[in-house]
A and B are shown apart, each in its own frame.
Chain A
Amino acid sequence: MLRYAWIIAFIPALSFFLILFFGKRMPKGGSEIGIAALGASFVLSVVAAVQWIDKVESTEGGEGGHALGALGQAFHVAGEAGHTVVEPVLASVSWFTLGGVDIRAGTMIDGLSVMMLFVVSLVSLLVHIYSTSYMEGDRRYTYFFAALSLFSASMLTLVIAGSTLLLLVGWELVGLCSFMLIGHWWEEGANSDAALKAFFTTRTGDIGLIIGIVILFFGAGGTFDIPTINEMAVNGEMSQTVLTTASVALLIGIIGKSGQFPLHTWLPDAMAGPTPVSALIHAATMVVAGVFLGARLYPVFFEGFHIADGGLNAMAVIGGITVIIGAALAFVQNDIKKVLAYSTISQIGYMVMALGVGAWLAAVFHLFTHAFFKADLFLGSGSVSHAVHTFDMRKMGGLRKVMPHTFWTFIISSLALAGFFPLAGFWSKDEIINTAGKADYDFFLVVGLVGAFMTAAYMTRCVWLTFFGEYRGAEHPHESPKAILVPLWILAIGAVFAGFLNATAFDIHKFTEWVEPTSAFPEVIVPEFSVPLAVFSFMVAAAGVAVAGAYYVYGMGPRGLTERNASARAGYTFLENKYYLDHLYTDLVVGSIKGPIARGTYWFNQNVIDGVVNAAGTGTRRVGRFTYDVIDQKIVDGSVNEIAAATDETGGLLRYLQSGRVQRYALILFASVGVLSLALVFAN
């Protein structure tokens, strides 16, 4: 399966076309095709995961070293004893040849890909099931499932891509699907605006990605091959300038796709899409594509940003800023999905920060656990809105009694997100904070702890407003159907247990063992589990819950601060306006560029383009007139008329022969025979 991983991505792609062509005629509107395809992909992903784990375990058994190729042997020798190397499984076919360079499309399967395959296909499958109920009766039900299938196919392509070019293809395709799905209800202007905003903002980042890929292509001597690039980066075969510029460019791509500061503004607006989409795309899978890119080309970033040196670097700073600003904005939102959206921004900030401080494994592990509880939270919020028909938390409250399943899964996931022992978020977040401390990034240790405090606090507010207190809406809430609850519980179970794959406190390092690359990978610091730090981070999270609880639930602390205190009011307004970033982009950046460019374009349009068009028009008219007068009228029509006239005259002459009298004909016949006979006689 590892060599044929492309099948996993191919099945949903096939399903996309099947749903488009036959979906409307199916009894369930095409959703069954999507579920079947994702089910198959999921099963195959599990098979791939099992085979990969098998490969890793057998290699570590000591025998596997001989099975590796010559390159692996070399590494085996270079790496000290006890450091076994498991090469990624590569498979590729020739894609096209350009300028003498053979561009190959292939898959690269290692622990990271396998983990992503598992997460993407699992969440996607659950979201498909969830959507059958959530989207019931939607006017574009079939189209929705087609787009979901296409999205899954693109994301699966992205994670198995063996070359940066194929990765880019998947990257752009998920962007397109995101656009299609955010704007699913495009009849409302706000939704199509949100879709456009998401598309354009991520495109801004994509420019960075493309530039980065091109730089790496030339830096690595003309190859898009990811293992080669990584190896060259690790072995110092690429110049520092190339690596630094490439990693800055790629970082811009990550910022755009993963909703990092300052290009995060599209992600909250993307909540205009249907909730299953938010769960799948804007929480669990697509937005982590940036983190995946960072993890995939980690040697480039590691060398490019001098991550081993500690201190500050662009990647960690961007991530750190995002952690804090995302979490701060989550406090002032009334829309439950927006709270979760800002939470997602903040959590992905954690992952980027983790990559920035050298905590590769922690970043990927957080990606893994985050997928479970964030997808669960989004699907939970969808379940709530299914019951009360709004996302506004001011119109919720007291839902724990009527929606017990939704409530419990939401609580579990919230605790996991807040980093409560022993749920999934605790292990991954603790690992990030721990590594930041050990790797000489003390500043980001603090950022991580502050972020953890804020996360716990805003989730407390969110849970309190939604599920506790008195019901404040006008609807009659009810528990959601099974198609919604089953995915919720599956994800909640994942949110509880996913963390134990790398529960370092209990000396479990399975995740590290299976996922962390052993070839072409920089020497990262993997810290020992630190009990005091873990206890401290747990206390911080608990304090967050306590403070938020005291403030929101028991009404303690200063009230009406925003009315009395000018600076507090200013701060609140600042947050409510999302740091004025949207204004900055639309008014200052776009506005200042738009005016002059528009005027310049108008001038160009009027004078140059119109001139050319008019000249072309006049010229064409003259040619047309000439053609009509001379060629058409005289030559073509003339010849046709001449032929007709000649035929007419000939006919007029010949009609005398056509007397209609049999005997005249016979006379002509006999006369002709006579003449011919005479001719024959004389000729002989």
Chain B
Amino acid sequence: MELNLFLMLAAFLFCTGIYGVLARRNGVLVLMSVELMLVAVNINLVAFAAFTGAIAGQVFALFVITIAAAEVGVGLALVLLVYRNLRSPDLDNLDSLKG
């Protein structure tokens, strides 16, 4: 197996995540896209760790997973509040910061 394969998979996942974050209007889908980006990063970390033999990458991946779990918790709570206030999960409605 080659390292490049893993990296390409990660890049693909990351780009999918970016696309989701930028193009999706639904808050839940945006959150999921963020998770995709984090997963891509994790794949990178683990792949590099496996190919170089350094354990630190794997440890880091575990940290990222933990943080991601917390982040999703906070994110879902926010989406829930948005939904409750605006009766819609649509992020385009959130423009009260408009200058």
**Interface, chain A (partner B; CB < 8 A):** 654-663, 666-667, 670
Contacts and interface: CB of A to CB of B under 8 A. Distances in A.
A667 B91 CA distance: 14
B95 A661 contact: yes
A655 B30 CA distance: 25
Contacts, number: 34
A274 to B, nearest CB: 80
Contacts of B94: 660-662
Contact of B22 (A654, A658, A659, A670): A670
A32 to B, nearest CB: 74
B95 A660 contact: yes
Contacts of A666: 21-22
Contacts of B91: 661-663
A663 B95 contact: no
B46 to A, nearest CB: 22
Interface of B: 18, 21-23, 30, 91-92, 94-99
Contacts of B18: 670
Nearest to A665: B97
A657 B95 contact: no
Nearest to A651: B99
A594 to B, nearest CB: 80
B22 A663 contact: yes
Contacts of A667: 22
Nearest to B34: A666
Contacts of B30: 663
Of B21, B94, B95, B99, most buried by chain A (CB within 10 Å of CB) is: B99
B96 A660 contact: yes
Given A661-B92, A662-B94, A663-B91, A654 B99 contact: yes
B21 A658 contact: no
Given A654-B99, A663-B91, 17 more contacts: A655-B99, A657-B99, A658-B97, A658-B98, A659-B98, A659-B99, A660-B95, A660-B96, A661-B92, A661-B94, A663-B23, A663-B30, A663-B92, A666-B22, A667-B22, A670-B18, A670-B22
Nearest to A658: B99
A389 to B, nearest CB: 88
Contacts of B96: 660
Nearest to A656: B99
A659 B21 contact: no
20 contacts: A655-B99, A657-B99, A658-B97, A659-B95, A659-B98, A660-B95, A660-B96, A660-B97, A660-B99, A661-B91, A661-B94, A662-B91, A663-B21, A663-B23, A663-B91, A663-B92, A666-B21, A666-B22, A667-B22, A670-B18
A537 to B, nearest CB: 112
A666 B21 CA distance: 8
B89 to A, nearest CB: 13
